[in-house]
Structure 1
Amino acid sequence: MAMYERLSEGRYLASEHTQGPWDPRSQHMGPVTALVAHELARTAPRPGLELSRLVVDVFAPVPVAELEVATDVVRDGKRVQCLSASVSSGGRELVRATAWRIREAGTPPTPVRQAPPVPPREERHGRSWLQSGFGYGKALDWRFVTGSAEETGPATAWGRLTVPLVAGEEPDAVERVAVFADSGNGISSALGFDTHVFVNVDLTISLFRAPVGEWICMEAETVIGPSGRGLTRSTLFDVAGEIGAATQTLFVAPRQG
């Protein structure tokens, strides 16, 4: 079973593989962000332009239901291109996104950090809430380098999709980044999952080169402020090294009941 089944142009049906950890009726934003990237890749593509930045704002929880994704070209320049996307369900807009594509050109690259090796799978991670407690967690293969799903604090982890994003279609490398990059606050939680809610209201992904391969690594750290807000910062890697960064602004509150 894929995360989504295409019903018609711009219309998708979400499966249980999109379920998030806070409410089984709501989707994790990783699949939603990847679906946005999937639709943007089909919008006014032009050879030589690569997606370099994707910003997703979350207006309300996205239900595990039928979605409509609409995209548009905001600015179509020779060297840069700005796109927009909107995700709706039941006639209500739930997510809005913008993306920048930048032209490819030869530049002298600066040194970047190398990625840690992908570690072997550990059975304890398969038994954690992350990989057994909800649909999205079970749809990825998680490999922790430092930290774990059972403890708070910074963490570094590899992840890869084990199910298709859209039925019958192979996800591209940007979609693989997008589906994983929204997990920074989950793997590096600064507060207990049982005691607090720390939900992101946005996600920004910035890439300075095109990712490669099916494995993506995230080195994440979360800080909580004194007034109900937090921030997660993640460095992103593929098997060839550093590729960019992701940030999430968090709404933080004690769990009710």
Structure 2
Amino acid sequence: MFYEPLGDDRYASTVHTTGPWSPLTQHLGPPSALMVREMERLPARAPMVIARVTVEILGPVPVAELSVTASVDRPGRAVELLSASLSSDGRVVARARAWRIVRSDTRQVAADVHERLAPPSSGRVLTRPEGWVSGYLDIMEWRALSGSLAEPGPAVVWARQGVPLVGDEEPSGLQRLLTVADSGNGLSNRLDPRKWLFINTDLTVHVYREPVGEWVAMAAATAIGPEGVGTATTVLHDLDGPVGHGAQALLVRPQ
């Protein structure tokens, strides 16, 4: 598991949450999914679905005990605005907001704008690059259709989490999506991490179809401007096809 539930909205972070840069801090994927889980648990007046999630990173998320709270900030019959907060030792380290929209039947007019990808079985197995910290990267299964964790440039990679998010609980499709969506920046980076920082300040995910199954694919690319700012964009897929898009603003500067 990524998190062991302790009761009263408290969770113990396991070693599987550890990010690639430090054994003391987490990859943003599991914390993002944990906040989404808390927002999904908020009661709704009618059947609704989350259409957009934005995660704001306020500081490193330590591999330690965390507390999570969530609320409905703007209730409504058709559209609601939700929020969640993630804290460690009394300090807020991340916040999330999400728009929740009432369900309706639009199957007759449903349309995608991207092609379906080849399945994970078509990809090559990726392993953690030398010098990167174990934890999150090792507990995930990675299958690359193009690019890799260690190659600069765009990448198309399938990922599947090897443990549940919380305890032995089955994650929702959106939780699985958020567990991997923050990896778009790392997969599509253009720079040598020994010489450059390329840190995302946020993650926004728009979803137009609820993800299904265990596998999530990221077709990711990064653009870098001339003044220290970049943008990583990711088309997100499940085995049935595209489900949405992710975007991250990047701080880019020499080490």
TM class by shorter-chain length? over 0.9
Q: How far did residue 216 of structure 1 move?
A: 0.5
CA distance in 2, matches of 1:46, 1:205: 24
Q: How does 1:1-257 map to 2 (within 5 A)?
A: 2-107=1-106, 108-112=109-113, 113-120=115-122, 122=124, 125-126=126-127, 128-129=129-130, 133-255=133-255
1:121 offset after TM fit, Å? 6.2
For residue 160 of structure 2, give the secondary structure of its aligned residue in structure 1. strand
Q: 1:35-65: per-residue Cα shift (whole Å, max 9, x none)?
A: 1111111112455200110000001101000
Amino acid at match of 2:75: D
Q: 1:168 to 1:117 in 2, by over 3 A?
A: closer
TM-superposed CA distance for 1:200, in Å, is 0.7
Q: CA deviation at 1:224?
A: 1.3
User: Aligned partners of 1:175 and 1:129: how far apart in 2?
Assistant: 29
Supply the distance in 1 between the matched residues of 2:68 and 2:130 (Cα, whole angstroms): 30
- The one-letter code sitting in structure 2 at the alignment partner of 1:187 is L
- Contact 1:119/1:144 (CA < 8 Å) preserved in 2? no
Go from structure 1 to structure 2 and tell me whether the alpha carbon gap of 1:111 and 1:32 turns closer, same or farther (over 3 Å shift).
Answer: closer
Residue identity over aligned pairs, in percent, reads 42
**1:54-94 residue CA offsets vs partner (Å, 9 max, x unmatched):** 00000110100011111111111111111100111111111
- RMSD of Structure 2 on Structure 1 (CA): 1.6
Matched AA of 1:119:
S
Identify if the C-alpha distance between structure 1 residues 111 and 167 changes in structure 2 by more than 3 Å, giving closer, same or farther. Answer: closer
Give the aligned residue type for 2:65. E
Q: 2:21, 2:133 within 8 Å by CA — same for their partners in 1? A: no
Deviation for aligned residue 1:177: 0.2
> Partner amino acid for 1:28?
H
Change (3 A) 1:236 1:141: same
SS of 1:227 mapped into structure 2: coil
Measure, in 1, the Cα distance between the counterparts of 2:46 and 2:213: 20
**Which amino acid is the alignment partner of residue 116 of structure 2?**
Q
TM-score (norm 1): 0.93
1:104-133 CA-partner distances (Å, limit 9, x unpaired): 11221124421222135645x235349x74
Provide the TM-score with structure 2 as the length reference: 0.94
Work out whether residues 129 and 149 of structure 1, in 8 Å CA contact, stay in contact via their aligned partners in 2. Answer: no
Contact 2:128–2:134, Cα closer than 8 Å, also in 1: no
The runs of at least 4 aligned residues of structure 1 exceeding 4 Å deviation read none
Q: Which amino acid aligns with 2:4?
A: E
String of CA shifts for 1:134-155, please: whole Å, max 9, x gaps. 2110111000001112210000
In structure 2, the gaps of 5 or more residues are none
Distance of 2:53 and 2:207 partners within structure 1 = 9
Whole-Å separation in 2 of the counterparts to 1:207 and 1:31: 18
Q: Distance in 2 between matches of 1:210 and 1:248?
A: 21
* SS of aligned partner of 1:63: coil
Structure-2 separation of matches of 1:127 and 1:20: 11
Q: What one-letter code is carried by the residue in structure 2 that aligns with 1:69?
A: V
Counterpart CA distance in 2 for 1:133 and 1:189 is 17
